[in-house]
């Protein structure tokens, strides 16, 4: 029973990380109607920048600040790449373009940081990774923080999208780009703003990953990216609540499968299950109305 609860908490925190990535991608989906496949690559790049900054300065706060700066800068820097495509309405090509960006970031991590070796973070950077025991169950505080952060960020995003003028502009652009432009929504400014918020989110994800996982390498980006994009489709594109629910659910399922199933087939089951659901419900599990 203790191990079951520990696995449950573990799965919930993994699901929280997935949910944050899916949230970021959903935001970009709303802003520019793109699938930013390389969003999780940027998160991993942030972790690497944090590792580098900590190595130079030995100061946790400065390292985190560097991560925020990197996240915002890199994410906003990708915006001009997508602009001609989203103006053209070529949504299929954006995913290929994002894959190209992802490959560049993966190569940068593999060749420039720590000679492609796995980077492990010191205990000073993993501030919140404190053992916590509740009866006989022990778990790390970072896991709880991941889950809480996911909920807080989601609430903030929903508030931002539904209660502020900029958020309304983003939703208008997601619905119909041409009409939104006609009504005076600034195409460039709103997009950069959305990408900037996604960049802040990517830095948060980097920090939470440092606390929960404690290591980073080049392959992490690809693994996270595929899982996050598939989970996004699983819930339905641009569906924020569905994205969070399905991510947390799949995080738990994955943790349970790793713990209790013979480990060799986990991946095939995970992807196979999601693929069948996507094929049966192409608009997502939580889609309310069918597309015409």
Which residues lie near other proteins (CB under 8 A)?
35, 81, 84-85, 88, 90-93, 95-97, 99-101, 103-104, 107, 111, 222, 226, 229-230, 233, 237, 264-265, 267-268, 271-272, 274-276, 278-279, 282
177 within 8 A of 94, measured Cβ to Cβ = no
- Give 55 or 100: the residue with its C-beta nearer to other proteins: 100
Residue 194 burial (C-beta neighbours within 10 Å; 0-12, 13-18, 19+): buried
- Give 14 or 143: the residue with its C-beta nearer to other proteins: 14
- Give 24 or 167: the residue with its C-beta nearer to other proteins: 24
- Nearest distance in Å: CB 113, other proteins: 15
31 within 8 A of 195, measured Cβ to Cβ = yes
- Nearest distance in Å: CB 258, other proteins: 14
- Give 200 or 277: the residue with its C-beta nearer to other proteins: 277
Q: What gap in Å lies between CA 277 and CA 127, rounded to an integer?
A: 39
**CA 165 to each of CA 111, 159, 176, 186: distance values in angstroms, whole numbers, following the listed order:** 43, 11, 17, 12
DSSP-derived 3-state class of residue 133: strand
- Give 35 or 45: the residue with its C-beta nearer to other proteins: 35
Write out the H or E segment, with its range, that includes residue 233. helix 219-235
Residue 214 burial (C-beta neighbours within 10 Å; 0-12, 13-18, 19+): middle
Tokens coding 231: 């989970």
- Nearest distance in Å: CB 95, other proteins: 6
- Nearest distance in Å: CB 22, other proteins: 13
- Nearest distance in Å: CB 163, other proteins: 29
Backbone angles phi, psi at 216, to 5 degrees: -150, 140
- Give 129 or 237: the residue with its C-beta nearer to other proteins: 237
- Nearest distance in Å: CB 189, other proteins: 21
């Amino acid at each position: 029973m203790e191990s079951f609860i520990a696995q449950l908490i573990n799965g919930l925190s993994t699901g929280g990380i997935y949910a944050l990535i899916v949230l970021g991608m959903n935001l970009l989906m709303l802003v520019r109607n793109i699938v930013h496949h390389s969003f999780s690559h940027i998160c991993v790049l942030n972790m690497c920048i944090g590792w580098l900054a900590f190595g130079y300065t030995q100061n946790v706060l400065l390292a985190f600040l560097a991560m925020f700066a990197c996240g915002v800068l890199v994410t906003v820097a990708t915006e001009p790449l997508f602009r001609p495509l989203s103006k053209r309405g070529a949504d299929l090509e954006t995913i290929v373009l994002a894959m190209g960006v992802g490959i560049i970031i993966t190569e940068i991590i593999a060749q420039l940081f720590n000679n492609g070796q796995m980077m492990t973070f010191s205990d000073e950077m993993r501030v919140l990774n404190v053992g916590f025991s509740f009866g006989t169950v022990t778990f790390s505080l970072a896991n709880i923080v991941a889950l809480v952060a996911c909920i807080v960020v989601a609430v903030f995003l929903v508030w931002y999208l539904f209660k502020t003028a900029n958020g309304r502009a983003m939703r208008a652009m997601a619905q119909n780009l041409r009409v939104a432009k006609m009504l005076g929504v600034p195409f460039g400014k709103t997009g950069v703003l959305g990408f900037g918020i996604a960049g802040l989110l990517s830095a948060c994800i980097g920090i939470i990953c440092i606390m929960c996982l404690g290591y980073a390498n080049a392959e992490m980006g690809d693994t996270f990216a595929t899982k996050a994009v598939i989970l996004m489709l699983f819930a339905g594109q641009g569906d924020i609540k569905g994205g969070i629910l399905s991510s947390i659910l799949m995080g738990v399922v994955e943790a349970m499968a790793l713990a209790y199933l013979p480990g060799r087939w986990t991946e095939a089951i995970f992807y196979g299950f999601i693929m069948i659901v996507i094929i049966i419900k192409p608009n997502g599990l939580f889609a309310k109305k069918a597309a015409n």
